[in-house]
C-alpha cells in the first residue's frame, strides 16, 4: 500500500492517472472510486509528509557535503545547491506526498478496523 502511494498510484487498487496536472489531483480514484479528501484539512498530513521528504533530502545532502569538504567548507556552492533544493523540492514532492498520505491514512484505517473487529469478537465470547 505504501509503495503504491510512493509511486503516485491509488493505495487501494494501484490505479494510476490520479493527477490532472502536476498539482491537481482528481477527487476520486478512476478505477475503485476511493474518495481522497475525507474532510476539510485532510491534506495537512500530506504537508507533513512533504516536509519530511524534502527536509530529509536537505539534511542528507548537507551532511554528505559537509563530511566530504571538512575543513574547507564551500559555503557559497553549498548554498547554491541547497537553496534551490528547498524551493524546487516541495513542488517536485507534492504529488508523491499526497498519495503517500492517502496510503498512510488507509493503512491506519485498516489497522483500526481490524482491531475493532477483534474487539467485537472478544465481546461476543
| SS3 state at 26 | coil
Q: Which of 94, 71, 97, 68 is nearest to 81 (CA)?
A: 68
Q: Is the pLDDT of residue 87 over 80?
A: yes
Per-residue pLDDT tens over the stretch 25-43 = 999 999 988 888 888 888 8
Residues forming beta bridges with residue 35, ordered by sequence position: 28
CA dist 17 and 27 (Å) reads 12
pTM for this entry: 0.77
Neighbours of 99 (CB within 10 A): 25
Backbone angles phi, psi at 63, to 5 degrees: -65, -40
Amino acid at each position: 500500500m505504501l509503495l503504491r502511494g510512493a509511486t503516485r498510484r491509488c493505495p487501494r487498487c494501484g490505479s494510476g492517472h490520479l493527477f490532472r496536472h502536476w498539482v491537481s489531483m482528481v477527487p476520486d480514484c478512476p478505477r475503485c472510486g476511493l474518495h481522497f479528501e475525507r474532510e476539510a484539512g485532510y491534506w495537512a498530513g500530506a504537508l507533513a509528509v512533504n516536509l519530511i521528504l524534502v527536509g530529509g533530502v536537505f539534511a542528507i545532502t548537507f551532511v554528505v557535503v559537509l563530511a566530504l569538504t571538512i575543513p574547507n567548507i564551500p559555503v557559497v556552492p553549498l548554498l547554491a545547491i541547497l537553496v534551490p533544493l528547498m524551493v524546487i523540492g516541495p513542488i517536485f514532492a507534492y504529488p508523491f506526498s499526497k498519495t503517500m498520505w492517502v496510503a498512510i491514512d488507509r493503512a491506519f484505517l485498516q489497522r483500526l478496523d481490524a482491531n475493532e473487529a477483534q474487539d467485537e469478537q472478544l465481546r461476543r465470547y
